[in-house]
Chains A and B, each alone.
Chain A
């Protein structure tokens, strides 16, 4: 048995973040093993997105420590998190509308060719590799030179996911990755999560589609008003228990009854 430090890909402890009078995160912890898929759930405003942005370097916490593979890290910008191979699909997708598909996929790590020491964009390589990535992920986009503003919501979301998944991440955070997707596309994203976690990538999945969690997650962590309230192994819980934990009281949700009608009696 390895020591505790080595078995965790991510250990966040005592993370606090305050925006004005609102304590968005209050002493939150999060642990993640290599190859594990963690579902992070909670009501709107529970702090899921803020917690994941702390891990991706987009939000700097007031206190708390982050360890990646046993080493304490301090992310002062998203560039630091990227260097530690933490990638995130943001809820708002974080795409530049007036930049083309290849430009968005490679944003911040464009292949360069130096002429007289000046870095120029290696456009041919960028478009060729983009084509390969899109094909590998099964994303259908006719032309990698199309500007992102001309794409459909599903295609835009696919690009955001492809960007995070394609550059050899060790931790992949997905904040509502399936919000704009059709049924078949949601299945493809769930397949993608299974495929990357089988390769050892740790995944944090934030979603309101609770049934998806039960298809791909190993564990579910529930947040309520900026705090951790529960953690359940997927085999030890049920959708109605998760619903009750999310809303913070005993509650018979119709959505829960619809999927497991016989168990939902109070």
Chain B
């Protein structure tokens, strides 16, 4: 703004070195999203051909209803992983909020209060873990691994291992079971969360700093940004997202079980990584995460419809993760100079 006169040319390079980008360049630049989109389409086409019931409206709505918790937590996990962090405790937070909401409803608390209390609990758990990660500099893997163990333990302790029923007449169950405008409510909740996550990730300074911290945290700090608070905040987001998932699950199943969400954190991380977000940080995409989560959900659903063993699901999912990432590394490399 104020450099009025500065002749010469810094960074001179011959003009027209960069040509206008074609669709192919765009595809390579967004290689991770393109490759998971291809996988998603292939999986959908295969199941449409080998089963009659896959490509029907009720089944598709059922898939989005069942995958709502995964979509919501994966959106938040995209922020965490993009800062080059990880949150292993989301499955345990889901179990804790599912059981506690059932317990509180049984104790006679009105449902809106229960929802608010659970969101606050998720945020508090996230803030506590985020404090150790961002301010005390303990690796996120260790902090959230401890969280995974402790939080699940608390849920088991509260219930004694039993699942707690939710009164089916309570309005609370509508969060998981009701339909609105022909769409399941959990799917609508997921849609709202995803739109907010997309805007926050791509269009706000917060999203920019999340990406920047993953790429070069010290550079962002030197630019005058409070990087520690941003890092703390992404764990608050993942904690709250896990509590929303816990509420939806308890409402849909009509009970809160302390064994809910075993291995859920791995599904979430798989969906995020499948979508093309780098575990090393600095590169994340909400769109890819949505496709990754839906691919995981479609595989589970399609294998059951095809009358194949549901135990094939983890095998197929794991194979696709490896192949998708491998394709991403091989086919679409060349978008960057290094790495």
Which residue numbers of A lie inside 8 Å of B, CB to CB? 56, 58, 77-79, 81-83, 88, 90, 94-99, 103, 107-110, 112, 118-121, 123, 129, 133, 136-143, 146-147, 149-150, 152, 154-155, 157-159, 161-162, 165-168, 181-182, 184-185, 187-189, 191-192, 195-196, 199
The reply to whether A185 and B222 form a contact with Cβ atoms under 8 Å apart is no
Provide a sorted-by-A list of 5 A–B residue pairs whose CB atoms are within 8 angstroms. A96-B216, A96-B282, A155-B13, A167-B1, A188-B8
Ordered nearest first, which 3 A-B pairs have the shortest CB separation?
A188-B8, A108-B223, A158-B11
Structural contact, A99 and B12, CB atoms closer than 8 A? no
- Contact (Cβ within 8 A) B11 A140: yes
Given contacts A58-B222, A94-B219, A110-B208, contact A191 B7 (CB under 8 A): yes
Task: Let me know if B9 and A140 touch, CB within 8 A.
Answer: yes
Q: Is the CB of A99 within 8 A of B215?
A: yes
Return B198 CB to nearest CB of chain A, in Å: 12
Q: Which residues of B contact A (CB under 8 A)?
A: 1-13, 15-18, 199, 203-205, 208, 211-212, 214-216, 218-226, 282-283, 336-338
Determine if A107 and B12 form an interchain contact, defined as CB atoms under 8 angstroms apart. no
Q: Is the CB of A79 within 8 A of B3?
A: no
Within the assembled complex, what's the spacing in Å between the Cα atoms of A79 and B209?
Answer: 14
A161–B3 alpha-carbon span in the complex (Å): 12
Which A residue's beta carbon lies closest to that of B199?
A120
CB-defined contacts of A150 to chain B, threshold 8 Å: 336-337
| A78 in contact with B221 (CB, 8 Å) | yes
Verify A79–B226 contact, CB threshold 8 A: yes
Instruction: Please pick, from A77, A99, A149, the residue contacting B338 in the complex, using a CB distance under 8 A.
Output: A149
Given A149-B338, A166-B1, A185-B12, the answer on whether A95 and B216 have CB atoms closer than 8 Å is yes
Taking CB atoms, residues of chain B closer than 8 Å to A99 are 208, 211-212, 215
Q: How far is the CA of A139 from the CA of B58 in the complex (A)?
A: 57
Query: With A140-B11, A142-B17, A152-B13 as given contacts, are A112 and B205 in contact (CB-CB < 8 Å)?
Result: yes
B205 touches A121 (CB 8 A): yes
* Alpha-carbon separation in the docked complex, A158 to B13 (Å): 12
Asked if residues A165 and B3 are in contact (CB atoms below 8 Å), the reply is yes
- Nearest CB to that of A111 among chain B residues? B205
Is A154 in contact with B3, judged by CB distance below 8 angstroms?
no
Contact in complex: A168, B1 (CB < 8 Å) = yes
Beyond A81-B224, A95-B219, A96-B282: 17 further Cβ-contacts under 8 Å?
A56-B222, A78-B222, A78-B223, A79-B226, A83-B224, A96-B219, A96-B220, A99-B208, A99-B211, A108-B225, A120-B199, A121-B208, A138-B7, A138-B8, A142-B15, A150-B336, A155-B11
CB B17 to nearest CB in A, in angstroms, measures: 7
CA distance A112 to B207 in the complex (A): 13
B208 CB to closest chain A CB (Å) equals: 6
**Residues of A contacting B7 in the complex (Cβ-Cβ under 8 angstroms):** 138, 188, 191
Is B6 in contact with A136, judged by CB distance below 8 angstroms? yes
Check A195 against B5 for contact (C-beta < 8 Å): yes
A69 to B143, CA, bound (A): 45
Smallest CB gap from A148: residue in B: B215
Which chain A residue shows the least CB distance to B338? A149
Complex contact A94–B11 (CB within 8 A): no
Interface-centre pick from A110, A112, A140 (highest chain B CB count, 10 A): A140
B205 touches A149 (CB 8 A): no
Which of A96, A119, A146, A185 meets B11, CB within 8 Å?
A: A185
Q: Contact between B222 and A138 (Cβ–Cβ < 8 Å)?
A: no
Partner of A77, one of B4, B215, B219, B224: B224
Q: Are B10 and A158 in contact (CB under 8 A)?
A: yes
Residues in B with CB closer than 8 Å to A118 are: 204
Contacts A139-B9, A150-B337 given: A82-B224 contact, CB under 8 Å? Answer: yes
In the bound complex, what is the Cα–Cα distance between A112 and B205 (angstroms)? 8
> In the assembly, what is the distance between CA of A165 and CA of B3, in Å?
7
Q: Which residue of A lies closest to B221 (CB)?
A: A78
When C-beta atoms are compared, the residue in chain A nearest to B17 turns out to be A142
